[in-house]
Structure 1
Amino acid sequence: MVVANNKVVSVTYELRKNSADGEIIEIVKEDNPLVYIAGIGSLLPDFEANLMGKKLDESFSFSIPADDAYGPREDAAIIDIPLQVFMVDGAVDYELVKIGQTIPMRDQDGNRLNGIVLDVNETSVKMDFNHPLAGDDLFFTGKVVGIRDATQEELEHGHVHSHGAHSHDED
């Protein structure tokens, strides 16, 4: 069996940024592999494309340029938000609103975005809504550790149900 559309695929990998020997960003081991349904678009398109056709136990090594991963860093994604947005009962929670903190926010359309606090002053909070890996080339090395057919229920729900532990049935 090979990685193909509608297969449940399990992979282990090491992700580095900007070069094959760059900073390690993530290590996914066999005791908790990344498990996904191939071809449904839940992962970076180039990540999925590089795994298509791989066999069980086959190793892989590939890179994804920044523009094809999370895109370039955009100055427009760094914005000043009025401090009063962060007020609850007339006070700002400075444990939440502090430099380096990631805060979940919503845009004007209700989409969830994570922003990192860059600066706080008397009137505003400067936040960066770029993806943390925006502007970085990604380097993956790893191995395909599992391939199986997705169940009809998994395909309908668009995600993997592992070991019968997940159900959408109502009690």
Structure 2
Amino acid sequence: MKIEPQHVVSLTYDLYSPQQDGTEALVESTSEEQPLTFLFGVGQMLPKFEENLSTLATGDSYDFRISAADGYGEFDDSAVANLPIEMFNGADLPEVGAVLPLQDNNGNHFQGVVVSIAEDSVIVDLNHPMAGQELHFKGKILNVRPATPEELSHGHAHGPDGHHHH
């Protein structure tokens, strides 16, 4: 079956990212036992990722690259924040390299990586870990099926090959 909007797609992927020395490193990988399953065309995935898959069908393999700008954005030097040390309320200070779950004033959740710790603040990089990197996806389309009305109303995949509600 061909991938269409409002279809549920299950696929495997290997995500590679270029390294300084010209090689590529595997960043993430899924298996046929634990595929990525998502509702196509509702904005769950990167738009360019969906665009590259949009001509494919069950059983097809794919191999494509997404530029940093179309992926998680260019690295933004201004996306570095100083968190006042009081925020940690005398709790153990995070280590450099630790990933902190943060929330902005609008309640949006995001992550920051601790870059350094100063006397009165913790410096956190809010860029996505993959910011500024080209993304190279390789994989195979395992299954494509029309979404159920329930899936469409919830905006994501359900069932044995999808999202479970507890």
TM over 0.5: yes
Unaligned runs of 5+ in 1: none
1:21 offset after TM fit, Å? 4.9
Structure 1 position 81 matched with structure 2 position 83: yes
The 8 Å contact of residues 15 and 24 in structure 1, kept in 2 or not, is answered as yes
Percent of aligned pairs with the same residue? 39
- Normalised TM-score (structure 2): 0.92
Closer, same or farther: CA 111–167 of 1 in aligned 2, 3 Å: closer
Q: Which residue identity lines up with residue 93 of structure 1 in the other structure? A: D
Distance in 2 (alpha carbons) for counterparts of 1:167 and 1:68: 31
Q: Which residue identity lines up with residue 147 of structure 1 in the other structure? A: V
Closer, same or farther: CA 14–112 of 1 in aligned 2, 3 Å: same
1:165 offset after TM fit, Å? 8.0
1:121 offset after TM fit, Å? 2.2
Q: Which residue identity lines up with residue 139 of structure 1 in the other structure? A: H
Q: Residues 129-162 of structure 1: CA distance to partner in whole angstroms, max 9, x if unpaired?
A: 1000000000011100011110000000011112
Closer, same or farther: CA 28–166 of 1 in aligned 2, 3 Å: closer
> Aligned with 1:155: secondary structure?
helix
The range that moved more, 45-54 or 104-113, is 104-113
Structure 2 residue aligned with 1:93? 92
Q: Residues 8-42 of structure 1: CA distance to partner in whole angstroms, max 9, x if unpaired?
A: 00010111013795111011110000001111110
Distance in 2 (alpha carbons) for counterparts of 1:21 and 1:33: 26
The 8 Å contact of residues 157 and 163 in structure 2, kept in 1 or not, is answered as no
Structure 1 position 150 matched with structure 2 position 147: yes
> Aligned with 1:68: secondary structure?
coil
The 8 Å contact of residues 84 and 92 in structure 1, kept in 2 or not, is answered as no
> Aligned with 2:86: secondary structure?
helix
Structure 1 position 161 matched with structure 2 position 158: yes
1:122 offset after TM fit, Å? 1.8
Unaligned runs of 5+ in 2: none
Structure 2 residue aligned with 1:9? 9
Structure 2 residue aligned with 1:56? 58
> Aligned with 2:78: secondary structure?
helix
RMSD (CA atoms) = 1.8
Aligned residues: 163
Q: Which residue identity lines up with residue 125 of structure 2 in the other structure? A: D
The 8 Å contact of residues 8 and 36 in structure 1, kept in 2 or not, is answered as yes
Give every structure 1 segment of 4 or more consecutive aligned residues whose post-TM-superposition deviation is greater than 3 Å.
164-168
- Normalised TM-score (structure 1): 0.90
